Structure formats: C-alpha cells, structure tokens
Structure 1
Amino acid sequence: MKSLNPPLMQWTVLVLVALLSIPAQAQLPDFTDLATENAPSVVNISTHQQQNIRQQMRRFNIPEIPDDNPFGELLKRFLDEHGNLQEDEVEKQSLGSGFIISPDGYILTNNHVVAEADEIIVRMHNRREYVARLIGTDERSDVALIKIEATDLPIVKIGSSKELKVGEWVLAIGSPFGFDHSVTAGIVSAKGRSLPSENYVPFIQTDVAINPGNSGGPLFNLKGEVVGVNSQIYSRSGGFMGLSFAIPIDVAMNVADQLKTRGHVSRGWLGVLIQDITGELAESFHMSHPRGALVARVLPDSPSSQAGLQVGDVILKYNGTELRSSSELPPLVGSSRVDRPARLEVLRGGKNIIVMVNIGELPPEEDAQLTQQVKPKIAKNRLGVTVSDLTEEHLSQFALPAGQGVMVDSVTGNEAREAGVREGDVIMMLNNDNIENAKQFGQLVKRLPGGKTVALLVHRTSGPMFLALRVPEE
C-alpha cells in the first residue's frame, strides 16, 4: 500500500484543521414554539350580510320597476337564476382573521373584514364560537375593533413596529382561504411604504405568504411580539406574489385606543399637497441631493395657510424627524395630536427657516381634485409654450384666487415636452415666481438663465405638481 509523503500529510492535516475551525453555518430560525404559544390568541372571523335586491339595483343604477310590472318579475327571475338569490335578499359572506388584545374580549382586525356586516362570528383556536360586537372601524387605516363577551382569554404580546428592521424574520398566523391557524414566515422587505389607497399608514412590506383570509391577522417578530396587522397584498392574479403589506402595530393600537375611548379616530392635518423632490428639482432648488417634501399647494384656511407656509417650500424636518421623501410626512402629521404646535424645518429661497404650525384635525373628506377647461387667448414665449389668461369661469372651476396662473394652450418646445408640460395645465409658478397673467409669464421667461433647470408648478386634474424644466439656450 502506497503511503503519503510527509509534506503532503502535513498539508492535509492543516486543511482538515482549517475546515474544522470554520463555524457551523447559522441555521434558519425555529418557529415551532412561537406558533404554538400564539395560536390560541389568533381567531378566525366570518361575517354575514343580508343585501336587498332593490338596494343592489340602486347601487348599480338599475331603475326600480313597480311590482305589478311584468318586467319586474322577469328581472327577479333573472337574478334568481344567475345570482343564487332567495326571494328579495342575498347573503354576502367574508372571511378573515384577528387577534385578541385584552383578556375581556377585545379583538383587532381589518376594517374590510367586518365592514357593513350584519353578524360577526369569531371562532377560537379551540373551535368555540362567539358573536362579536363591533366597537368601531377606521376606513383610512383599515383597522377595526370588535369585542366578544368572554373573560380570561389568551392575549398576544404587543411589540413595537418602530424597532423592526429590514431583513428581520417575521411570522404570520391566519386563515387563508378558510384554513384556520395557518403559519407562514418570511422577512421584512421594507418599511414606511406609502400605498395609493392610504397615505397615512407607513406600511410594513414583507415577503410572507398572505392570501385571502389572512387579512386582520397578526405579524410576529422572533420574540413573539405582534409588530403588524396583515392587511393587503400586491397581486395581478388575486393570489400571493411575494409582496404583502402590514399595518404597523403602533398605528393599529393607536387607532384601537381611539375607537375604544372615543368611537372615532382623529388625525393631524397640515392642509398642504406635497410631492417628491427629483434630482432635477433638487438642482432647481439649489439642493445638494433630493430629500424632503415639496409643497405644491397650500389649502385655504388650513393650518399651513395660517402659519405662513408657502408653495415652493421644501419641508426638510417635521418635529425633528428628517424627511427622506414626501411619503414620510403624512404618517407623521396624522399621528400628531390635534391643536398642538409642530415644528417644521423648511427650505425657502435657498435658506433654512423654522415654521411653527398649529396642527388641525383631518377633515372627513379632502377634495383636492381640480377640474380644468381649456380656452384660448394666446401668448408665445421662448419655451415653446403658448398660454392664455384664466377666465372667471376657469378660476371658479379650479378654485383659484383671481390674478394667479395661466392656461397652457399648446406645447411645441422640446424642453417643455420633456419636462412633462401638457396642454390644459395651469402654470402657477415659474422659478419661484408666482404667475399673475400671460404677459407677466412672458416677461419671466425672457429672464430665465439659459441651460439651467428651473422649477415649474402646474395644476392639472390629478392636482398640483412641480416639474423640472431645463431652459433652452438663447
């Protein structure tokens, strides 16, 4: 038998020693104890709602037909055949999850799980069922608080979503498609997400598998603490596609406390419309890098208006919290106490100033939509944009004060097109100067520095917006 030579043996021993000294690869977390301990505090929620056929007809703008009209009977037969309706009513059901937050039966879930329900049934881990009473709902945050008549119930441990980190493991318990107490796990993908449906909730994004029936269920960290309420998914198919969103537990508990004590939720309100600062806009505002929330409109008679906040201001900090993007501002304002002062650090005219705003209460409905009409007296300028003065009718339709803004009738300049200027826009501000009329607009355009990027504030159907416009050379 051939033996290894001494140098080779020494080298082999060294390699083996090195391999043995490498620490064992970190194992994936074990969720068994977490799931076992918290399953009793998670409930299945089912709802029933009786909907009258005539109410459904009104909802879809179907005119009511008298009972003695033969077409009325025909319509009922059609609905019976294709809608599985019983006489004049149809039963609508929904399914979701929730979790117990107090031993005496208070349960947190989603608003969309229990909205408009005639009956709410809560099924516990031990299969016992209760009829729940609705304490209150908040559509803006999609949070609802319900209560069952019971005592000594197992409760979840409430954590803090503020301490949650991107990349951290999280676990969800719920009833996807009715399969009670299903457990799924993943990581935190991002924090502070602003979704189109809700600007006042800084959602937690995860890759935890969430499906219909998980809504309202808890999201746990590895300590067994609830850090979020599973609420939404992003999907093109209707099923899970790797993007799920949870309401931070700090937000949800604040809403629950208000629903319990006051029956409704109040939020702080500044009264401004804001947008992000792009790289081009940052250059036009002489900023080293994009950050903060750019004020595109100050609503009349709002807290911001009374405090002297101006269109074109860039809000850099809110009560000491630095704003990386505009989406971070609404949740901070919304969670502020009404009728208390807030300290805003604002960039105005290249200088940082402090503006103190007395926070108001967010109105039930905010109407920031503007209608617009296009019409004609033309004034040309070097930007390749033709504009006209606003008529009294335009001012009324746009809810604008007299002597502000011009209507864009056509866009022929390449730079204006690339900036996004459209026919029908109302130009309100150019390079930090308010626009009064078409003549003054033309004078301002003549003084613009060639080759530089300037900010242009326009109003359109979607609301006010700043555009970054590169001025063509002379």
Structure 2
Amino acid sequence: MRKFWLLFSQSATIALGILLVITVFKPEWRIWHNASAPSGNPGAIAAAPNSYRYAAGKAIPSVVNVFTSKAVHTLAPPLSNSPLFNPFFDGQAKSRTQRVSNLGSGVIVSTNGYILTNHHVVESADEIQVALHDGRTLLAKVVGTDPETDLAVLKIDASNLPAITFSQSDKASIGDVVLAIGDPFGVGQTVTMGIISALGRSHLGINTFEDFIQTDAAINPGNSGGPLVDTNGNLVGINSAIYSRTGGSQGIGFAIPANLVSKVMDQIIAHGEVIRGWMGIEVQDLTPELAESFKLKNGNGALIAGILRGGPADRAHIHPGDVLLSVDNQVITDSAALLNQIAALKPGQNTTITLLHRDKILTTTVKIARRPKLEINTEAQP
C-alpha cells in the first residue's frame, strides 16, 4: 500500500509540473483555451472578458447607411444693384434649384432586401441610396412609411442579405446592456454601449404612438433608423430620437421597441401603410384631482376632452367630460394606453366601451372607423 501511494504522489507531482510548464510557456496548448467561444459557432473568436464583440459582429453586417437627397427650390438674390450690371442682369431675384442631402441609418430585416429606418430619415426624399456593409451602394425605394410611429420600410434589389434577428422587446428589463449601431455625424459606422434606462416612455410629444425604450447608449444625429441590439446581437429597437440641449448625446436616447416595429413593418409590407382603428375623440390623462372629483379611487381611465361631430364616438352618444374606463373589458390606465388600444382595433368592428357619464357607469357599443392619415414633421431628432 505504501508503495502504491508513493507511486501515486510521484505521478501527481510530475503531472502538475507538466501542467505548470504548459501554462507558462505554451498557453495555446490548453484544452480549455476556446471554451469561451460562442456556442454553435466553433470557428468564432473567443470572447474576451466584458467584451461585446460577438453581439457587435453579429449585428453589424445587417446595419446600413441611408443617404437621401431632395431638390429644394430657392430664390437667389440679384448679384448687384449697380447699373454696370444692368446689361447682363435685370436685378430681380432668380429661382434656383439645389440638392439637400441627409444621412441616417437602417437595418436589414429580410434576406431579400427589406430595410427598416425612420420616417424622418426618408421624408420628402426623391432619391435614396443604401450603403451595405460589404461596400455596395444600391438605390432604394420606399415601400411605405408610418409618420405616427416614425418608421419606414425600404426595398433594395438584392438577395442573400444578412438580416437581423428580432428579440422579444417586451422581455427587456431596466439595466440590460444594449448596443446602438449607426453612422453618427457621418464619421462612419460606430457601436456605442449602454443600458436600458427606462421602458414604456410616452407623453414625450415625439410621435403619436409612443412606447419608447430609453437608453444611455450614445445616440447622435446620423444614428436615426439604426438598431439597438442586446448582448446576443438581436434587435431590441430602432433608434429614433434623443433629448439634447446641444444637438449631441446627453445620455437620453429613445428607441422604438422591436415588438411595435414588427407589427408596423408587417402592415407596411402587406398594405403599404398602417391601418388603425379610430373613434374620433380627443382624450387627456386623469390627474389625481380629476380622479378624486369623479370619485375614481384607482385613478384609471381617460377623460374625453373633445368629440369629432359625426364621428364614431359621437354616433355612439359619448360626450365630452365622460371618462372612458375600459375597451373590450381591457382597463384603461391612461390616455396613451387608450390610444394604443383603439388603434389596435379593426375598422368596421363593434367594440364595447365602459364609461363614466354623470356619475353613472354605462356600457355602450362603438363601431370603429379607420384612422385618417396624419402627416407629422419630426424635428430635432438624430
């Protein structure tokens, strides 16, 4: 037995010695050397600690630069009022045309050439070019836009493109690490890193339908339409706007969540536009004082501030001053939630509405109409 243990200890000592030599002089021989490479991709480079190279490497090929231009007609002032120029110039302002360029970002969402970007990036453009990651620059056409969410879908004539993968943005949490990819200030494709600072941001006055992801990942002019991705390189949102006093990033950026993006994109591809429900009402949030005056203990609901004469709500005998409490048994938390709930309804369907009218809770039926198109000028966005 003693001889056995002596042999074992000598073998263990020799093995540890060999392991020490390998670790010091030949670390590349270690069998665990590639253990940190992403699963399912044996040829991938091992990820360094605290690195997001895998996420960036996966998403970057799907990101494009969007170059737009449009003709602007202006009046050129006369060159001079001097009589010496009278034989050649009549002294009157001349009309001239110049081209104005704009820069934004976008992300490939299908292998056959569909690209997502912001409405305000391509608004009024008469020529759109898309620069791909592989160096190609192609002309793009607008499939459709949705000014009320600030989204647009483009199409290029190409195939076998690297399409980004959508994540389930409703599972995102405050504190999750995210990367913003785009072309800020035209310096070239750039990746910035931050966290999700807040979810469900609304009442910002940026879009009609707002459900923003707020992030402190640096977003600057030129990032518009580019992706916000998670640490797996999947699309969390489309970067759309920033809060800034200087025009540059101040750590408050807003992205349209992927779940909303997907719904809008599908409708644009199918119909060329987004079809939403509409009731013809103007609503506002219930303040604590208003909720108390209406004897609403939980504060849920939305106050009807105005009714379009002849609209669906007017025909259902809903009045200004009523408080909408639920739509199809879904409780209304505030005016933004009400707007989204009504928009999700199909035009032509009958919808059950519960409301507070003169201290009485009533139920009525409204026939939903189609929301009219609304053109929005989005300014002061990246």
Q: TM-score range by the shorter chain?
A: 0.7 to 0.9
Inter-partner Cα distance in structure 2 for 1:161 and 1:204: 9
> Where does residue 170 of structure 2 map in the other structure?
162
> Where does residue 249 of structure 2 map in the other structure?
240
Matched residue of 1:39: which SS?
Answer: helix
* Structure 1 residue ranges without an equivalent (≥5): 1-27, 58-67, 77-86, 367-474
Given that 2:55 and 2:230 are in contact with CA atoms closer than 8 Å, whether structure 1 keeps it comes out as no
Residue type of the alignment partner of 2:101: Q
Q: Deviations over 1:267-297 (max 9, x none)?
A: 2111111111111111110121422211122
Q: Deviations over 1:434-455 (max 9, x none)?
A: xxxxxxxxxxxxxxxxxxxxxx
Question: Equivalences for 1:348-359 in 2 at 5 Å?
Answer: 348-359=357-368
Given that 1:295 and 1:311 are in contact with CA atoms closer than 8 Å, whether structure 2 keeps it comes out as yes
Distance 1:185 1:282, change over 3 A: same
Shift in Å, 1:197 = 3.6
> Where does residue 282 of structure 1 map in the other structure?
291
Question: Equivalences for 1:287-302 in 2 at 5 Å?
Answer: 287-302=296-311
Residue type of the alignment partner of 1:53: T
Inter-partner Cα distance in structure 2 for 1:206 and 1:349: 43
Matched residue of 2:363: which SS?
Answer: strand
Inter-partner Cα distance in structure 2 for 1:211 and 1:289: 40
The reply to whether residue 113 of structure 1 matches residue 133 of structure 2 is no
Q: Deviations over 1:294-315 (max 9, x none)?
A: 1122221111122232322222
The reply to whether residue 328 of structure 1 matches residue 337 of structure 2 is yes
> Where does residue 205 of structure 1 map in the other structure?
214
Q: Deviations over 1:250-282 (max 9, x none)?
A: 332322222222222222111111111111111
> Where does residue 47 of structure 1 map in the other structure?
68
Residue type of the alignment partner of 2:176: E
Question: Equivalences for 1:131-170 in 2 at 5 Å?
Answer: 131-170=139-178
Normalising by structure 1, what TM-score?
Answer: 0.62
Question: Equivalences for 1:5-84 in 2 at 5 Å?
Answer: 30-53=51-74, 70-72=90-92, 75-76=93-94
Structure 1 stretch displaced more, 135-144 or 108-117: 135-144
Q: Which has the higher contact order (CA 8 A, sep 6+)?
A: 2
Matched residue of 1:158: which SS?
Answer: coil
CA RMSD of aligned residues (A): 2.5
Structure 1 stretch displaced more, 232-241 or 196-205: 196-205
Shift in Å, 1:209 = 1.2
Inter-partner Cα distance in structure 2 for 1:141 and 1:312: 28
The reply to whether residue 229 of structure 1 matches residue 238 of structure 2 is yes
> Where does residue 193 of structure 1 map in the other structure?
202
Q: Deviations over 1:119-157 (max 9, x none)?
A: 211111122211112222222221111111111101011
Normalising by structure 2, what TM-score?
Answer: 0.76
Residue type of the alignment partner of 2:150: D
* Structure 2 residue ranges without an equivalent (≥5): 1-48, 78-87, 376-382
Matched residue of 1:200: which SS?
Answer: coil
Distance 1:333 1:222, change over 3 A: farther
User: Of 122, 125, 130, which residue of structure 1 is paired with 2:133?
Assistant: 125
Question: Equivalences for 1:283-432 in 2 at 5 Å?
Answer: 283-365=292-374
> Where does residue 378 of structure 2 map in the other structure?
none
Shift in Å, 1:365 = 5.0
Q: Deviations over 1:182-208 (max 9, x none)?
A: 112222223141332422232222222
Given that 2:59 and 2:234 are in contact with CA atoms closer than 8 Å, whether structure 1 keeps it comes out as no
Runs of at least 4 residues off by over 6 Å: none
Q: Deviations over 1:38-94 (max 9, x none)?
A: 11011111112222335x99xxxxxxxxxx97232xx45xxxxxxxxxx93212110
Given that 2:211 and 2:256 are in contact with CA atoms closer than 8 Å, whether structure 1 keeps it comes out as yes
Given that 1:341 and 1:358 are in contact with CA atoms closer than 8 Å, whether structure 2 keeps it comes out as yes
> Where does residue 226 of structure 2 map in the other structure?
217
Shift in Å, 1:220 = 1.6
Inter-partner Cα distance in structure 2 for 1:222 and 1:318: 37
Aligned length: 317
